[in-house]
Amino acid sequence: MREITKSMFSLGWAMSLLGMREMARLVSPGRGDGSGVDAVTRAAAEQLGESLQATYRAGDALQRAVVDTAFDLVGGRSADGALARTGIDVVQRSLDLFNRGLALWSRGGVRGGEPLGWGPVRRPRVD
């Protein structure tokens, strides 16, 4: 437990520094392409299991659509139904995720029948 806690704090620290570096590169001519963040994002996404990857993809698509719409609105370009398409897409993806989760729940877990959670918890003996 101690080591995973240390690792989680190290990850947060590294991500903060990476974000700062990428923000500094944005103001440097020709250096702000985001490739460092993309590489780390891909590496982290590869560590997710099947059900979390589906959740990640849906959330990532939503965030990207929101950013595109925001930049279109700020840049003065018309979103021409982009917001409505984004809303419909979010609903469709949410329903898909719900159906996948329901299927996993009905099978009894995420690993082909393995129960979810810790299982029964026994009370400690009191002597």
Percent of the chain with pLDDT over 90: 3
Give the mean pLDDT of 7-24.
87
pLDDT above 80 for 60: yes
If DSSP codes are grouped into helix, strand and coil, which group holds residue 79? coil
Say what the pLDDT of residue 116 is: 54
pLDDT above 80 for 14: yes
User: Do the Cβ atoms of 18 and 10 come closer than 8 Å?
Assistant: no
Buried b (16+ CB within 10 A) or exposed e, 25-62: beeeeeeeeeeeeeebeeeeeeeeeeeeebeeebeeeb
pTM for this structure?
A: 0.50
